[in-house]
Amino acid sequence: MKDFGVQSVVQFPAGLESVMLDLYQKSHGEDFGLSRDQFADILNEVVAKYLPLGTLSGGTHERDLEEFLRSLRVEDLALARACAIGREPAWDIFLLRYRGKLYDIAAYITKESSAARDLADSLYGDLYGTGSHDGQRVSKLASYTGRGSLEGWLRAVMGQEYINRYRRQRPLVSLEEKSEGGTQFAAPDPPPAAVVDPQVEAATAGALAGLSAEDRFLLASYYLDDRTLADIARLLGVHESTVSRKLDKIAKSLRNRIVAALVVQGMSHRQADEAMEIDVRDLQVNVKSLTQKVKAQSFPEEEIQAQTGDGTG
Amino acid sequence: MEPLPKLVRQRLQAAAQAGVHPDPDLLAGFAERSLSERERVPVLEHLANCADCRQIVSLSLPPFELPHADAAAAALPSHIGWGRRPWLRWAAAAACLVVVGGAVILGRHALATKEKVVALQQTQSQPMPNEYSQQPQASDQANPIVARVEPSQPRRGSVRGAGSAGKSRALDNLQKQTAKTSAGSGFGMARFESQMRESGAEPAVAAKGAPPPANKKLPTAGRQLEGLRSSQGQMSETVQVESAAPPVSTEQVEVYPGPEAKDFAPPAAPSKPASPNGSGSPKGIVGGSVIARNQTVQIQAAGDSIMPRWTLSSDGTLLLRSFDNGKTWQSVPVAGRVVFRALSALGPEVWIGGPAGALYHSSDSGQHWQKVEPSAGGRILVADILALEFTDPQHGKLTTANHEIWITADAGQSWQLR
């Protein structure tokens, strides 16, 4: 069955044929209603998407290919793809395993029961495939590739949908906040123009560019997103204390680097410290508004709390 | 934690670029640490700059350590989990001993009291009231004198026993009473609550606001069955749009086979399409069989499972309806290729809104639709509708992308612009 856009049945290289068969058995594809050929088609599609040379008959070393294939969650992949093409046995199992979890995930994301139900129902409709393209059912499950677990994928998709939904309704939130702000609080003074020493800004940009992606991710997660050390540690697979030490180290080294860059540009140490302090005072207002703007894109509750805070940023 | 210079924070934020977002597979793979190093680095690079993707990755992680089955247990009020803590079990055992010991002591005291009363009765030689036994035996309904004495005793059945039979009856009554008060929270909890009562304190109350167990039906917020009242409107134009929505019947409902769907198997009686008269009769019953009024009331009282649930697909192109509490869905055609963003459903009353003031209303659970064009003071609604909220079939409001709020108090016949 040509459900995945692949033009022909793939012949696995001889060395990988046994791997494919082994994976097919592990995937329980037959129980879900997937044939071996269909399963091979799926694997080829996933390989084409993620590996540089794209095809099993290409130049990718067989060992790399095998390692990649074995890293896939083949059972989840077979289940999802079988559901996507409407295999009833697969749907039986999907319902059994994931229907309750969909609502749990939605409740965890939205923290509110009716919104959770709406979100889960909407995603469930997309997963089932109530839309159609050229007469064929279009299911979101057809895009699952088994790189992570199916449950994790469902979480990511639902998180994406939640963020998109919130974005669409964001003007509504702004309106309510404005009306509440007008009755409870005096309108804030417009922020003064930020006075940023170009030298300081350049030194800061240079210092940040010198950080690794992981370091910048840590800084952004902790200082911009206000994530807890525990959450960050879980994401990176390290201990919470490791994250804490790293953040301390990064923040200190950043400050030292900026000061060092300013000193190189001719400032004294004291002048460099003062330059950062001056900019800090001026930027507090801007940072607060910028931070609120960023936070509004994630949590409306946080935006309301930010506005009702003591204004110290 | 070392504070981050504000300038650095601002710079970090300013560096955020949208770019090409990784697909959910990669984000989930990153969260689960199943990506190779070669793939992980570019994802990390993107995450350092993209707050949305950081948020998605964070949401991709399951709640800390709880699998699905345990989430339901953990969602229960915290006091029910007390038995899992060993020290609480020992405390409960000690409490039980105190309660039993107290019951025994009280029983003996009551027995001694009754013996005194009996002795007093014998000396007084007065005729007994008819409703009481002539036998000078201490029993539950023995004697007005006993009845007068009893209220001064704790109200447990323990005081009504006599001799050894009374003691065992006392324990039985105590257990029965505590079993009644436990309300399914377990024998241990019943003991704990009985101890609380003995001491005069209030028994533990289930935590209000605790999330329901995962497998419990979530209540349908704000949905009530009310009849539709007709009213004449003036300030909005209503265009009748006959939709090709399929009638309610078992044959046209896509049923997903599964254990949950089986629990909701339609009745064997042949289906009868529900009347689209908006009378408030239960519509959308899977199977649509003819149901007597008293049965209808019972079914409605049993929950909102017969009322349709509504949702929009993630891209807004499809309006979806379910008559079995979300187990199966069918798409309901409304109007061409409009991308709807707002939905409000209250019983059979359904409102959907979309771009350029597209507003549609059905009063019969989607069988028929009317296009509504709100106007107020000569001004017609043309903005994108972002939200709809109806508290009852008559009163509702819609919010637009340009921050307008339109309010109706007559089911959309007339509107006011706030």
pLDDT digits (tens, 9 = 90+) for A303-312: 445 444 444 4
Portions of chain A given CATH number 1.10.1740: 88-166
**Fold annotation for A198-307:** Arc Repressor Mutant, subunit A (1.10.10)
Q: Is the pLDDT of residue B297 over 70?
A: no
Gap from B58 CA to chain A (nearest CA, Å): 7
Q: Are B392 and B410 in contact (CB under 8 A)?
A: no
pLDDT band at B8 (very low <50, low <70, confident <90, very high): confident
CA distance A249 to chain B (A): 8
Contacts of B48 in chain A (CB under 8 A): 213-214, 216-217, 220
CA-nearest of A127, A145, A254 to A203 is A254
Dmax of chain A from CA atoms? 74
Min Cα distance B328 → chain A (Å) is 9
Inspect the interface and report whether the beta carbons of B47 and A298 lie closer than 8 Å: no
pTM of the model: 0.54
Given CB atoms, is A8 within the 8 Å cutoff of chain B?
A: no
Mean pLDDT lowest among A11-25, A99-113, A282-296: A282-296
pLDDT at B167: 44
Between residues B332 and B227, the one the model is more confident about:
B332
Which residue did the predictor score with more confidence, B284 or B331? B331
Residues of B in contact with A123 (CB under 8 A): 314
What is the CATH code for A88-166?
1.10.1740
Residue that wins the pLDDT comparison between B163 and A169: A169
Highest mean pLDDT among A76-85, A285-294, B21-30, B109-118: A76-85
pLDDT at A258 over 50: yes
User: What's the whole-number mean pLDDT along residues B280-306?
Assistant: 38
**Which of A123-137, B134-148, B279-293 has the least mean pLDDT?**
B279-293
Identity of the residue in A143, A244, A251 whose CB atom sits nearest the CB atom of B4: A251
* pLDDT band at A183; cut points 50, 70, 90: very low
Q: Supply the pLDDT for residue B315.
A: 75
Question: What pLDDT sits at residue A237?
Answer: 87
Q: Which residue of A has its CA nearest to B220?
A: A114
Whether residue A256 lies within 8 A of chain B, CB to CB, comes out as no
Q: What is the pLDDT of residue B121?
A: 66
Q: Which residues from B are below 8 Å from A130, CB to CB?
A: 313, 318, 320, 329-331
Q: Would the CB atoms of A96 and B387 count as touching at under 8 Å?
A: no
CB atoms within 10 A of CB B140: 15
Domain range annotation of chain B:
6-60, 84-198, 236-417
- pLDDT above 50 (res B410): yes
DSSP-derived secondary structure for B215-283? TSPPP-TT----PPPP----SEEEEEE---PPPS-GGGS-PPPSHHHHHTPPPSSPP-PPPTT-SS---
CB A76 within 8 A of CB A149: yes
Which one, of A295, A300, A290, lies nearest residue A175 by Cα? A300
Quick check: B234 and B375 in contact, CB under 8 A?
no
Measured CA to CA, the distance from residue A292 to residue A306 in angstroms comes to: 7
More confident of the two residues B202 and A24: A24
Q: Which of B34, B63, B402 sits opposite A148 (nearest CB)?
A: B34
Would you state the pLDDT for residue A124?
86
Other Cβ atoms within 10 Å of A227 Cβ, number: 20
What residues 51-110 of chain A have any CB closer than 8 A to a CB of chain B?
68, 71, 73, 88, 91-92, 95-96, 99-101, 103-104, 107-109
Of A156, A208, A214, the CB nearest to B27: A156
The least confident of A87-96, B208-217, B361-370 is: B208-217
Percent of chain B with pLDDT over 90: 12
Q: How far apart are CA B362 and CA B318, in angstroms?
A: 16
Average pLDDT over residues B207-236: 42
**CB-CB: which of A88, A109, A255 is closest to B257?**
A88
A225–chain B Cβ distance below 8 A for any pair = yes
- The CA–CA distances, whole Å, from B54 to A111, A147, A224, A271 equal 19, 18, 11, 37
Task: State which residue of chain A sits closest to B72, comparing Cα positions.
Answer: A104
The dihedral over CA atoms of B243, B248, B250, B253, expressed in degrees to the nearest 10, equals: 40
B contacts of A278 (beta carbons < 8 Å): none
pLDDT of residue A152: 92
| The pLDDT of residue A196 | 66
CA distance A154 to A118: 15
pLDDT at res. B10: 75
Among A26-40, A154-168, B102-116, name the most confident range.
A26-40
Q: What is the pLDDT of residue A311?
A: 45
Q: Where in chain A is the domain with CATH 1.10.10.10?
A: 198-307
Residues 6+ apart with CB under 8 A from B411: B228, B229, B231, B233, B349, B361, B363, B393, B394, B396
Q: Which residues of A touch B33 (CB under 8 A)?
A: 237
Q: How confident is the model over A116-126, as a mean pLDDT?
A: 87
The arithmetic mean of pLDDT across residues B19-34, rounded, is: 88
CB contacts < 8 Å between A and B, how many? 278
Nearest by CB to A121, which of B15, B71, B309?
Answer: B309
Residue in B with minimal Cα distance to A295: B51
Q: Report the mean per-residue pLDDT for chain A.
A: 77
Confidence of residue B299 (pLDDT cuts 50, 70, 90): very low
Which strands sit side by side in the sheet containing B309-312, from one edge to the other?
B309-312, B319-322, B330-332
CA distance A212 to chain B (A): 8
- CB spacing of A152 vs B63 below 8 angstroms: no
For A122, which residue in chain B has the nearest alpha carbon?
B313
CA distance A195 to chain B (A): 11
Residue B61: pLDDT band by 50, 70, 90 thresholds? confident
Flag whether pLDDT at B95 surpasses 60.
yes
List pLDDT tens digits, range B229-261. Answer: 444 444 545 554 444 444 444 443 343 333 443
Report A:133-192 residues touching B (Cβ under 8 A): 143-149, 151-153, 155-164, 168-169, 171-172, 174-175
Q: Does A224 touch chain B (CB under 8 A)?
A: yes
Chain B closest-CA separation from residue A78 CA (Å): 15
Cβ of A279 under 8 Å from any chain B Cβ?
Answer: yes
User: Is-contact B202 A87, C-beta < 8 A?
Assistant: no
Tell me whether A257 touches chain B (CB under 8 Å).
no
